Structure formats: structure tokens, C-alpha cells
A = this chain, B = another copy of it.
Amino acid sequence: MSGSSFGQLFRVTTAGESHGAANVVIVDGCPAGLPLSAEDLLPDLARRRPGQSRIVSQRKEPDHPEILSGVFEGETTGTPIAILIRNKDAKSKDYSALRNVYRPGHADFTFDQKFGRRDHRGGGRSSARETVARVAAGAIAKKLLAQMYGARVVGYVIQVGEVKATLTETPTLEAVETFADGSPNIVRCPDPIAAQEMIQVIQAARKNQDSIGGVAEVIATGVPAGLGEPVFGKLKADLGAALFSLPAVLGVEYGVGFGCAALKGSENNDVFVQEDGVTRTKSNRHGGMLGGISTGMPIVLRAAVKPTSSLPQPQQTVTRDGEETTVRTLGRHDPCLLPRFVPMAEAMVALVLVDHALRQRARG
């Protein structure tokens, strides 16, 4: 109901601004008996964190999550899990110049229109800082999906600027995170050749005081058939909302996506077959969902992410009072959002899947 809650049975509520005291998430509805500690949250938080590589924002956020409730003697109790993540590197004075300026592409103007005011420090509640709470909750969702089904949710970058990846198989988390030589895949593109080109494109954007957009893909494997509701609660609708709820996402598609527009039915339909007593489809142009309900095939989604709106170069704009001015953002912003977007997208997909898993369980 409220704008800061998500999910029905596995329900996440967040609070917190970029430069306030802390970000908080309450996860309600997690079943009892899941082994859980703060350590379980660290890997995804590290993947989301600024400062993790040379192609992302250099802001420092150590992100030490504290589990305040809902876990007893190492396992979830079934009661709500509250997680506190304090904001550390909140240099508020950096932002005082932005108090009355509307940065292009940002929510400064719309927050003022909505609330009549805003916390202008670092974007306040509209900052991507807020996703730290979602990634923490998503780590719990992933663990539960693994426990329930052995399901996995993996995201990666498939396009940066004009560079597109070529994938020959479903990427593993390892391939996303690490190159064959063991060095970190800082752009999170499992096609190593495209990855190197993407890194160059991002570095060029930074050098030019600019930024660059891209596309991420998320695959969920091991999800059983039958999740999702027929009409408004379609799995694709909830997944779409989940990805669109992330900052900077301008488009979402699944399966063949927008490519379906140019296809004939005879080309697009996936044929049902029976294999080892299981009904499945030969191909997966439908992206794992039919009628909005999972088919048991991998769920394949893509999100288009716009280039970072904050730029070191001067941009023309107006102040709150309507006077013309220019604005530039100095330092510590991502020249490309995609590498850090990947764990955010995975988290949102995992939250939707686990919610529908519990909803389906209620059906008996």
C-alpha cells in the first residue's frame, strides 16, 4: 500500500536518505528456520558498494549491516527482520550548493513538486543510496529461494553504449564477477571481449566528463512452474514493477521483449515438449512466463539503464525560483551505473520470486 513497502507475504519496508543517519529495512514474512547472519548480506552489499573499482563512484560506504531483530540463535524466527546500515561517508557540505538548484535528470524538481520541500543532500530519498536496503533484503530472498528450490538469480551487463555482449550460455555468478585469469570483472559482463570494450567506453565517458547508459540482464533458474497470479498479480507485472522501481530504469522486457513486434506467431511461439516426464518448452522466447505465470523455464529479464544524470561538465538548468543557472557534479559519481546496478536488479527479482513462492504455498 505504502510507497516504501514492497511485496505481499515476503514484505520489505525501507527508510533512509543518502545523507541521513542510516538506511533501514524491515523484512516481514520470512519463514522461520532460515540460517541467517550479517555475513550473509556482505557479498551483495560489496557488489553494490561505491568505490569497489576504478569505473564506479569513489564514494566510500563500508556498509556494516546490523541485524536488529527476527534472528535468534542463528536462525530466523518468523518475526520481522530489521536491518540497520548507518551512513558513513556523508559529506553534507559538498551538497549545500544544490539546495535550490534542479539538477537535470534528477528528482530535485519532482520532490519539490510533490512534497513542497526536499532533503537536498545527495538526492535524499531519491538517491541510489536507498538501494542498499533492498540489496540487504534481496540477499535474504536469494538465500530462501536457494533453500526452497535450489533457485539462483544472476544478473550481468549485456550492453554499455554501443557495445553489446555475445553470450553462448547462461552465465554463472563466477563468470560475472571474475575473468578467466582470476582478475575481477569490474563491469560484470560475462563476455570477456565485450567487457574490455565496455570498460574502455566507461573510462572514455569519465574522461569526457560524461556518462554512458546500458542494459543489464537477469536470469532466474530453478524457479518452479506455477508462480504468479492470472490477472493483476502476473509475475511479469510484479517483476516489471520491481525493476522499474530502481533508479534510472527506462525500459524492461523479458524473453524476446521488444523484438516480438517484428515476429510472426509461428516464429515466436515456443513449442511444448515432454522430457523425462516433465513438460517444458523447446525454446525460451517466452522468458519463462506464460499468462504471467512461471513455466519452469529460466526467467529472463532485461532492464535499460540511462546514463548517470550527474555530470562533471556544466549543465544548463534553473533554480527553485526559476532563475537560469548551470550545475556540475564534482567527483564521486558513477560514469556508468550498470556495474553496480546488477546486484540491485538481482535483489528486486529475488524479492518478487520469493514473495510469489510464499503466495503459491498458501494455495496449498
Contact = CB atoms under 8 A, between A and B. Distances in A.
A91 interface: no
Interface stretch (A43-51, A55-63, A171-179, A222-230): A222-230
Contact of A23 (B14, B69, B130, B252): B69
A355 to B, nearest CB: 10
A250 B245 contact: no
A24 interface: yes
B28 A5 contact: yes
A264 to B, nearest CB: 5
A123 to B, nearest CB: 8
Given A3-B231, A261-B161, A15 B252 contact: no
A308 to B, nearest CB: 5
- How many of these chains are in the complex? 4
Contacts of A93: none
Nearest to A216: B261
Contacts of A239: 244
A102 interface: yes
A215 interface: yes
Given A15-B79, A244-B234, A265-B311, A286 B105 contact: yes
Contact of A250 (B22, B33, B227, B260): B260
Interface string A120-134: 000011100010000
A352 to B, nearest CB: 11
B113 A226 contact: yes
Nearest to A273: B318
B82 A24 contact: yes
Contact of A110 (B125, B240, B290): B290
Given A79-B124, A84-B84, A2 B29 contact: yes
A256 interface: yes
B79 A125 contact: yes
Contact of A262 (B162, B234, B240, B245): B162
A291 B82 contact: no
Contacts of A298: none
Contact of A245 (B211, B231, B322): B231
A311 B254 CA distance: 22
A98 interface: no
Contacts of A361: 361-362, 364
A241 interface: yes
Contacts of A273: 318, 324
B26 A4 contact: yes
Contacts of A80: 2, 4, 13-16
Given A232-B5, A257-B250, A15 B102 contact: no
B254 A251 contact: yes
A72 interface: yes
Interface in A4-36: 4-6, 8-9, 11, 13-17, 20-24, 26, 28-29, 31-33
A96 interface: no
